[in-house]
Amino acid sequence: MTNQDIETLAPVTHEDVFYSARDGLRLHAADYGRHDPLTRGRLPVVCLPGLTRNTRDFHDLAMLISRHPKAPRRVVSFDYRGRGQSAWDKDPARYTITTEAEDILNGMAALGLEHAIFIGTSRGGLIMHVLAATRPGIMAAGVLNDIGPVIEGAGLAQIKAYLSRTPKPADWSQAARVLAEAHGKSFPALTDADWADFARAVYVERNGKLVPDYDPALLEGLKGLDLNTPLPTLWPQFEGLGAMPLLALRGEHSTLLSAQTLDAMKARVPHLETHTIRGHGHAPILHLSGIPEILTRFFASVDKTRKH
């Protein structure tokens, strides 16, 4: 990776960083607190979003972490290929977890990140499972947000059904209403303002229209899924994650991560810290409902463990 492979632009809150994947695709990351001397000496935080999501999901959380009054940390969130500000892949067959894990490793190398605390939401947590099997040394600790080694077919079916008919609202107000109507029963904790923020994370304006911020070809991989057969489990990879400090969040109304799976995760990895987030479904929104405080305490415990 040469200096020419990285392009940075510096808004007030963070830097938008662009780097090259191994196959040359232009990928994006949002970097918070990179040049703040107060973040040095603490483990940075790497944030990995869900299947069709992007770095904007983590913006409010990243602001809180990078500007924490007592223990600020650098935070880097990644857009996978085909999402957010990353380029779309001409070959949809490359929209895979293994390719995305490799892209994250390339991004970390480009940004000089050797070790980090990882936060993985949904698909991001699956990428963490892959990294636990292939490059565990880069993860100092992990946070699994509503994901585990067992994916419930019913939850995946709901995601598949919603994404297959994602509406294209006429304006931002309608976008918030559409999301509230689709997900409101699973997220009773959200306010009207939260739904408006949610809309800004999900949609983007292109050619004067609001559209979901991902390559539609990404959904090709979902079409072939047979949800009538059990999905493969990732218990060996999860036990690899269990070698490090680990926290798992589950939305109270989640259909993707069951309470039974969360209990089984705790049984296999006794030091796993677990929290059920009331009023949230799949997946909990990380800057709401006391989650930043949970994460701050976990980060502090990781720091303490590393000192001993």
Structure token digits, residue 38: 């107060």
The first and second tokens of residue 238, run together, are 């999860």
Does 190 reside within a domain? no
Average pLDDT of the residues in 137-146: 98
Helix/strand/coil percent split, the chain, to 5? 40, 20, 40
pLDDT value of position 165: 80
pLDDT at 116 over 70: yes
Structural domain contains residue 26: yes
Cα angle for residues 214, 184, 227 (degrees, 5° grid)? 60
Question: Does 183 fall in a domain?
Answer: no
Indicate which CATH number applies to the domain containing 49: 3.40.50.1820
**pLDDT tens digits for 76-111?**
999 999 999 999 999 999 999 999 999 999 999 999
What's the pLDDT tens digit per position in 172-189?
999 999 999 999 999 999
Dihedral angle, C-alpha 185, 189, 191, 193, nearest 10 °? -110
Report the relative pairing of strands 15-20 and 26-32 from DSSP bridges.
antiparallel
Residue ranges making up the domain that contains 277:
3-160+230-307
- Nearest-5° angle of CA 286, CA 288, CA 289? 115
**What pLDDT band is residue 308 in, cutting at 50, 70 and 90?**
low
Total domain count for the chain? 1
Q: Is residue 133, in this structure, part of any structural domain at all?
A: yes
Contacts (Cβ under 8 Å, ≥6 apart) of 232: none
185 domain residue, yes or no: no
CB of 249 closer than 8 Å to CB of 146: yes
pLDDT in the model for residue 4: 43
Arithmetic mean of pLDDT over the chain: 93
Q: Please determine, for residue 5, whether its predicted confidence score (pLDDT) is greater than 70.
A: no
For residue 179, tell me if it sits in a domain. no
Burial level of 16, CB count in 10 A (0-12/13-18/19+)? middle
CA distances to 24, 124, 194, 219, 230 from 224, rounded to whole Å, are 28, 21, 34, 10, 14
User: pLDDT tens digits, residue range 237-249?
Assistant: 999 999 999 999 9
Query: Residue 160's pLDDT band (boundaries 50, 70, 90)?
Result: confident
Each residue of 25-40: pLDDT tens digit?
Answer: 999 999 999 999 999 9
For residue range 264-288, list pLDDT tens digits in order: 999 999 999 999 999 999 999 999 9
Mean pLDDT confidence for 51-74? 97
Q: What is the pLDDT of residues 214-239, one digit of tens each?
A: 999 999 888 777 767 778 899 999 99
- How confident is the model over 59-77, as a mean pLDDT? 97
Task: Return d(Cα 282, Cα 262) in angstroms, integer.
Answer: 14
Measure the CA–CA gap between 214 and 50, rounded to whole angstroms.
11
Check residue 25 and give its pLDDT: 98
Any idea what the Cα angle at residue 194 is, between residues 190 and 200, rounded to 5°?
140
**What pLDDT is stored for residue 305 in this prediction?**
86
Q: How many other C-beta atoms can be found within 10 angstroms of the C-beta atom of residue 189?
A: 18
Examine residue 271 and state whether it is found in any structural domain, yes or no.
Answer: yes
- Whether residue 199 lies inside any domain: the answer is no
Determine what percent of the chain is predicted with pLDDT higher than 90: 84
